């Protein structure tokens, strides 16, 4: 069987040649990788998070390699939504892969303005809402930890666009199901999870954090078991599709997320040490499906047995 047929899937009504997406924040704006990776071999690209105005990001050091992963505190550095539309999106439109715009803000109005800017532009398949930011209007309460705040934000954004909305949830909560349900009921078309796990690395001799901003977000292989649990729990709680991410480095890793209930996955940290990771993982997933005698990768979705 042709791998194109075996790996084909859909998410929020968007046809994907395979369920492997490059994760936001790890693949720049996508176009920068065009000379390194054959971008048509991956299902989609989730571009670096976009804000209403450019952001310079946090002071260095911003990255720290841990024993089994990576910590980062980039500070959501980006060129801003308007500059993205002007300088990056034109080059992305010609790619044979779907483009997802990651959107974030510190007030609901921040999100609204970014959506308005992007919604006038062609070439974007869907929005991924990064809600792991503190709502400065509510004393720093994180959108991702309060179902009421989350539902209100998603409901208002839903009024502004007809494009699919994917809500990216944080693992830094006591329970994921109330948040997943809140997003679904407010109009989300899909959920992606997980975002990074809040963490701290210390230089014992200097008695100082390894990251300039103090705390950072842990990603990579260390968080995969956490991510798999949360994907499974979210998939049990809602009817809308799940996109799983967190420590995916091989095709079999991707298969595990699909078995847990995800319909697609995002590859993040692996791209730092192997820029071709998303395309390689798609090939490995196809080989896994062939070895398992599966006619379609969709046969894996939600098949976990206890």
Domain around 112: 3-58+75-197+219-300
- Strand-strand pairing, 134-135 and 141-142: antiparallel
Question: Is there a contact between 244 and 227 (Cβ–Cβ < 8 Å)?
Answer: yes
Residue 56 backbone phi and psi in degrees, to 5: -80, -25
Amino acid 1: pLDDT: 61
Instruction: Place 190 in a pLDDT band, splitting at 50, 70 and 90.
Output: very high
Residue 64 lies in a domain: no
Residue 39 lies in a domain: yes
Amino acid 142: pLDDT: 86
Residue 206 lies in a domain: no
Among the listed residues 21, 133, 182, 188, the single catalytic one is 133
Question: Domains in the chain: how many in total?
Answer: 1
User: pLDDT tens digits, residue range 202-217?
Assistant: 999 999 999 999 999 9
Q: What is the mean pLDDT of residues 182-211?
A: 97
Q: What is the mean pLDDT of residues 236-254?
A: 98
CATH number where 126 lies: 3.20.20.70
Q: How does the average pLDDT of the chain come out, rounded?
A: 95
Q: What is the mean pLDDT of residues 231-258?
A: 98
User: pLDDT tens digits, residue range 125-169?
Assistant: 999 999 988 776 766 778 999 999 999 999 999 999 999 999 999
User: pLDDT tens digits, residue range 107-127?
Assistant: 999 999 999 999 999 999 999
Amino acid 3: pLDDT: 64
Instruction: Place 2 in a pLDDT band, splitting at 50, 70 and 90.
Output: low
Give the 3-state DSSP-derived string for the chain, with helices as H, strands as E and coil as C: CCHHHHHCEEECCEEECCCEEECCCCCCCCHHHCCCCCHHHCCEEECCCECCCCECCCCCCCEEEECCEEEECCCCCECCHHHHHHHHHHHHCCCCCEEEEEECCCCHHHHHHHHHHHHCCCCCCEEEEECCCEEHHHCCEEHHHCHHHHHHHHHHHHCCCCCCEEEECCCCCCCCHHHHHHHHHCCCCEEEECCCEEECCEECCCCEECECCECEEEECHHHHHHHHHHHHHHHHHCCCCEEEECCCCCHHHHHHHHHHCCCEEEECCHHHHCCCHHHHHHHHHHHHHHHCCCCCHHHHCCCCCC
The yes-or-no verdict on residue 187 having pLDDT over 90 is yes
Residue 127 lies in a domain: yes
Amino acid 137: pLDDT: 74
Instruction: Place 299 in a pLDDT band, splitting at 50, 70 and 90.
Output: very high
Residue 68 lies in a domain: no
CB within 8 Å of 246: residues ≥ 6 apart: 171, 193, 194, 219, 223, 224, 226, 227, 228, 268
Instruction: Place 29 in a pLDDT band, splitting at 50, 70 and 90.
Output: very high
pTM score: 0.96
The single residue listed with the structure tokens 């299902």 is 43
Question: What residues does 197 pair with on adjacent strands?
Answer: 218
User: pLDDT tens digits, residue range 42-67?
Assistant: 999 999 999 999 999 999 999 999 99
Residue 179 lies in a domain: yes
The yes-or-no verdict on residue 289 having pLDDT over 80 is yes
Residue 212 lies in a domain: no
- Among the listed residues 153, 39, 64, 138, the one whose alpha carbon sits nearest the alpha carbon of residue 103: 153
Amino acid 121: pLDDT: 97
Q: Token pair for residue 243?
A: 């996109």
For this structure, is 12 an active site residue? no
Q: What is the mean pLDDT of residues 237-263?
A: 98
């Amino acid at each position: 069987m042709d791998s194109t047929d075996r790996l084909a899937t859909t998410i929020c009504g968007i046809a994907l040649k395979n369920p492997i997406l490059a994760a936001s924040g790890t693949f720049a704006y996508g176009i920068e990788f065009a000379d390194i990776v054959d971008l048509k071999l991956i299902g989609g690209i989730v571009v670096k998070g976009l804000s209403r105005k450019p952001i310079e990001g946090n002071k260095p050091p911003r990255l720290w390699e841990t024993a089994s992963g990576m910590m980062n505190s980039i500070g959501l550095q980006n060129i801003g939504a308007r500059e993205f539309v002007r300088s990056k999106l034109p080059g992305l439109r010609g790619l044979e892969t779907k483009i997802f715009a990651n959107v974030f803000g510190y007030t609901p109005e921040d999100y609204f303005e970014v959506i308005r800017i992007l919604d006038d532009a062609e070439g974007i398949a869907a929005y991924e809402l990064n809600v792991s930011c503190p709502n400065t209007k509510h004393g720093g309460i994180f959108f991702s930890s309060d179902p009421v705040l989350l539902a209100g934000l998603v409901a208002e954004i839903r009024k502004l666009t007809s494009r699919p909305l994917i809500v990216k949830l944080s693992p830094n909560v006591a329970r994921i199901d109330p948040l997943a349900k809140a997003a679904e009921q407010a109009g989300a078309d899909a959920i992606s999870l997980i975002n990074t796990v809040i963490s701290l690395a210390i230089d014992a001799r200097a008695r100082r954090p390894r990251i300039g901003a103090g705390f950072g977000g842990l990603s990579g292989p260390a968080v995969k078991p956490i991510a798999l649990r949360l994907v499974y729990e979210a998939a049990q709680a809602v009817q809308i599709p799940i996109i799983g991410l967190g420590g995916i480095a091989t095709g079999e890793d991707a298969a595990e997320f699909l078995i847990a209930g995800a319909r697609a996955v995002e590859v993040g940290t692996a791209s730092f040490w192997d820029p071709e990771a998303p395309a390689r993982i798609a090939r490995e997933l196809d080989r896994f499906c062939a070895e398992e005698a599966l006619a379609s990768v969709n046969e894996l979705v939600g098949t976990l047995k206890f």
